[in-house]
Structure 1
């Protein structure tokens, strides 16, 4: 049994292994997957000397706790949370040396939703279609963490750094209001003019039902202009799909590659990291752009 590994002591609400994902396989029905906040994942990787595409842990709201079997450099970023080693507070957003057998814990997020833990050498689970990411929709990649699981670590390739990294900045606080820039279509004509006004002027809020597949919203439903159902068609990252209840869903990294509900608009990919960090109840505003 190798000592280049870490044991999961507390898995948290949902902790998964993520890297930059597996784009390019939609024709096989395989979503992109990957870290929902790629900037935060890249930042912690660089702090510990990893390449930007090394696999990290992505937590959801409640953090996680792990025990490395050998000394390792760790950085925690993304959604701010308390970080401790054997119960003693250590720095968030900076490299920390964790001794073999010590308990590293990332606590509950104090803002945002998803925190990221990078380990020198990266999480070295076997890649599937070129990625180590957990895909909740297709089931590809390693399963979500459970207590007692053991994850292998790779060999470090670079030294830890301190401070700003090549222009990357620490993760910003989540906005009090999420603003998503959208372009209408491809199925905006399936909705009434009033529904399009509702989308850009109505008060929507992030729902607690959201997950890695999509940000679900509560608020005024969008009225359809026509009945019936679409034939299944391709879906893209950021698609704003409207199921029969009329409440929009903004597709994130684990979204299905095809679907039969109409897509009223597509959100700008640059806004999706903030969408993934939006806590339930946050107001969401759509802004149409050309």
Structure 2
């Protein structure tokens, strides 16, 4: 790693199934983007990628590799020459691959043929910012091991990817503590507009907007929290739990976001309008 940018971590499919041990799921926030770039370079879906934030990263591979950059659209160069975004690119040994700042969205995914071969922890190579499991967040000068390529890279001109949201629409089902809020608060939650706060991270997407009033004001014992859970802290503004979320929480959960809507949440820049929409029951 020559330059890690604002935040660069190693991520794969994460560590599902360990919540009973207090271990978060973790994994790539924009999982469809990670799966696509892995496919483009011939990796298995579970291969680890580099997950970048806002201003990309710069790497210099010690052997010739095939790479693909996805997620947030950005400028890509190899030794200063423009290279394609969203498709497989060959990078010679010692060449400088630069993944530039996001033109839109927040998080980029960089896959390298063979995958990032750091030592797995509990079956995953993901960095977990909350628990500290997996490799530490990358710093300038970090040397990462690579696996051996397993299949030919994809031969497409460009692979379509969804644009980062101009408005983030999150479908929600009622949470276990919806009745801890006033009826007016529940109506406000699914009828008023919020905005993405700049204080969010891999643990949760924080929002700015109307505060939700509680009908029950006593303390809540910690209880299990799932991916996509919407907690409401004392300031009354909803927080959507993302990949590195804690497995338990002591603030009431008013709703749960559909898993299919969370990749878009990973790409929503601060200030993006947010609407919570009551999902139809199946």
TM-score (norm 1): 0.95
| Structure-to-structure mapping, 1:94-105, within 5 angstroms | 94-105=87-98
**Equivalent residues of 2:67, 2:111 under 8 A apart:** yes
Instruction: Return the match for 1:10 from 3, 8, 27.
Output: 3
Gaps of 5+ in 1: 1-7
Alpha-carbon contact 1:55-1:132 (below 8 Å) kept: yes
The equivalent position to 1:117 in structure 2, one of 105, 110, 119, is 110
Between the two proteins, the alignment pairs up a number of residues equal to 280
Matches within 5 A, 1:273-284: 273-284=263-274
- Whether 1:93 aligns to 2:83 is no
Match of 1:136 in 2: 129
Q: Which runs of 4+ in 1 moved over 3 A?
A: none
Report the counterpart of residue 43 of structure 1 in structure 2.
Answer: 36
Aligned ranges 1:189-208 → 2 under 5 Å: 189-208=179-198
* Alignment counterpart, residue 165 of structure 2, candidates 167, 171, 175: 175
Q: In 2, Cα distance between the equivalents of 1:105 and 1:243?
A: 39
- Distance of 2:157 and 2:248 partners within structure 1: 40
SS class of match (1:115): strand
Q: Does 1:72 align with 2:69?
A: no
Unaligned runs of 5+ in 2: none
After TM superposition, list the pairs within 5 Å mapping 1:156-171 onto structure 2: 156-163=149-156, 170-171=160-161
CA contact (8 A) 1:40 1:170 kept: no
Name which of 235, 246, 249 aligns with 1:245.
Answer: 235
> Residue 162 of structure 1: CA displacement?
1.9
Three-state SS of the structure 2 residue aligned to 1:136 is: coil
Q: Decide whether the 8 Å contact of 2:15 with 2:122 is kept in 1.
A: yes
Instruction: Report the RMSD for the aligned CA atoms in angstroms.
Output: 1.1
Tell me the secondary structure at the aligned position of residue 53 of structure 2.
Answer: coil
User: Which of 44, 52, 61 is the aligned partner of 2:54?
Assistant: 61
